[in-house]
Amino acid sequence: MSNARRPAPLVDIAGLTISFPNDRGVQHAVARNVSFTISPGECVAIVGESGSGKSVTARALLNLVGGNARIEAERFLINGADARAFNASQWRRVRGGFAGLVMQDALTSLDPLRTIGKEVAEAAQIHGLARGAAALHTLATATLARVGVPDPEERARQYAQQLSGGLRQRALIAAAIAGQPRLIIADEPTTALDASVQAQVLSVLRQRRDEGAGLLLISHDLAVVAGIADRAMVMRDGVVLDSGPTQEVLNAPRHPWTRRLIAASPSASTHGYRLTRPVTAGGANLDAREPLPPRAAPDLARPVLEAHNLRKHYRTTAGGVFTALDGVSFTVNAGEVLGLVGESGSGKSTCAKIALGLLEPDDGEIHLLGAHWTGMKERARKHLRRKMQYIPQDPLSSFDPRHTVTDIIGENLRAFSGMSRRERVMDLLALVGLDVHYASRRPGQLSGGQRQRIAIARALAADPAIIICDEPVSALDVSIQAQVIDLLADLQAQTGVALLFITHDLGLVQHAADRVIILKDGRVVEQGDARAIFRNPSHSYTAELVAALPRLGFGLITSS
């Protein structure tokens, strides 16, 4: 996009500072001195973690930052006009007419009480591009067709909750572009979507850009940014640390934070190495990867968890039968990390529930440490329960909000009492890298990463043979995710506990697992070595997954 005769930029911003007053009325800046331009046909990405100021910067382009925010800028041109002087009705013309907004999670971003058709047509109706129910409906179906929604007539009459995640996200894009905006602002448009659906949504956005729309992409995912953005900015704590052409920013990052962010993305090439860097590292050895501690090889003669031919059917409300699991078998051996991979609806959560004994399979059985597990009375399996522990995706909902951290970890320390239990809790806190003063905290006072550390400490407290980790880091920021994954790897090496790692993240599973099982529609389509299987997929579905995976194909990622 760097030809000499550039078209006039859609957005030209310099020195943008956004601040909110705190409780005492003192202004607190959430974005400082941000400058960028977006030209037609160009995709600019802002990369950052939560609290980096990336979303608020994007919202400022629509003046939707929030009531009491103060927005200052040296230059704030939208379509050539000075936006600092815009009044309410001028801003309304910008919104939907000049710039369309696509947010994360179309289920909550589309009005659940209105049909898709009405939602899609709304911007066009507000900006007077079409009048009358028939014209609006035609426009809605045409726009849905443009973003690749099949059967748009039917979809336009449905509600958001009737559509699959991918269709819903495309409908949200349709609603954003129905007013013919020249700029699309996409705020984490593919977060929480399966890889294949993510690829579809990105291709829809890429197509808009190729047709000449400007695209501002907000994302925490470097791989997504690498695949679509022409230029990228890395933000942290409201400040742009790195910016330039995407290839340059990601291939030769200038700022240490960018390097850490890139290094923190798990992949096949990071297997056996830490994702985090020592904070003190600087200069020459910054790109050197630190290997993980050595661990004992999995003992294939000692199976910990064996699943034989699991089957589970659910009755749907429509009167049909949904097959969640259709003859799934697997074994987790002592000291082994087994990855269970699949997209939503593949049956991986059902597997976890059956393994935990929270759900009875229709057929098949599970052995834990050689003993019968499924179909047993809870009394009979109680003594084995502590041998299998669980780390959920969202530990907050698994904690009693009134309990302190000591109480939470203490749940699994029934054998200890009084002082020895307290000592154990302190030991476990130290083990997961938390200071002793966290012992008296309650879940609400902990950050996401700290909660996950507490969940790990609670699991380890029981001295388990296996821990089932259900998407343990998918709700965390990349840098925090890296810390938690490294911690899990350290503790696994230290204790030799087996892990059943359930995830939709193919990069993560290649980084962390020994073996992997790929589930699709309740069946095992392929299993084998966690890295070889993706290098040489023998099943077409695995190949599809690999193809859909956005990747960072840069030198920095490979281990040194």
Partner 1 sequence: MTSTRAMITKRIAPRLLTGLLVAWGAVTAAFIGMHALPGRVEDILAGDMSWPGLREAIAQEWGLDQSVWSQYVGFIWRIAQGDFGTSYVMRQPVADVIGPQIWPTVHLALSAGILAVVLAVLAATLTAGRGRIARAAASLIELACVSAPVFWIGLLLLLAFSFTLRWFPVSGADGWRALVLPAVTLALPTAGLLAQVLREAMEKALVQPFVVTTRARGIGETLLRLRHVLRHAALPAVTLGGWLVGGLLGGAVITEKVFGRPGLGTVTLNAVLSQDAPVVLAVVMLAALIHVLASTALDVAYVFIDPRLKVQ
Q: In the complex, which residues of this chain contact partner 1 (CB under 8 A)?
A: 62, 64, 92-97, 99-101, 103, 105, 108-115, 122-123, 126-127, 158-159, 161-162, 172, 175-176, 179, 185, 317-318
What's the N-to-C CA distance of the chain in angstroms? 33
C-beta closer to partner 1: residue 128 or 555: 128
* Contact call for residues 191 and 152 (beta carbons, < 8 A): no
C-beta closer to partner 1: residue 183 or 405: 183
C-beta closer to partner 1: residue 101 or 552: 101
For the chain, the farthest-separated pair of C-alpha atoms sits apart, in whole angstroms, at 77
Taking the complex as a whole, the smallest distance from the CB of residue 152 to partner 1 amounts, in Å, to 16
d(CA 435, CA 499): 26
Taking the complex as a whole, the smallest distance from the CB of residue 150 to partner 1 amounts, in Å, to 15
Taking the complex as a whole, the smallest distance from the CB of residue 24 to partner 1 amounts, in Å, to 17
d(CA 238, CA 31): 4
Taking the complex as a whole, the smallest distance from the CB of residue 58 to partner 1 amounts, in Å, to 10
Taking the complex as a whole, the smallest distance from the CB of residue 113 to partner 1 amounts, in Å, to 5
Among 65, 55, 64, CA closest to 19: 65
Among 469, 486, 357, CA closest to 433: 486
C-beta closer to partner 1: residue 93 or 539: 93
Among 348, 438, 361, 429, CA closest to 393: 348
Taking the complex as a whole, the smallest distance from the CB of residue 156 to partner 1 amounts, in Å, to 14
Compute CA 211 distance to the chain's CA centroid, rounded to the nearest angstrom. Answer: 29
C-beta closer to partner 1: residue 153 or 400: 153
| Residues in CB range of 512: below 8 A, 6 or more apart | 266, 271, 337, 339, 485, 488, 489, 499, 501, 530
C-beta closer to partner 1: residue 118 or 274: 118
Taking the complex as a whole, the smallest distance from the CB of residue 551 to partner 1 amounts, in Å, to 30
C-beta closer to partner 1: residue 124 or 482: 124
* Contact call for residues 476 and 448 (beta carbons, < 8 A): yes
Assigned token pair, 100: 């369309």
Taking the complex as a whole, the smallest distance from the CB of residue 429 to partner 1 amounts, in Å, to 36
C-beta closer to partner 1: residue 28 or 114: 114
d(CA 253, CA 226): 13
Among 156, 151, 210, CA closest to 178: 156
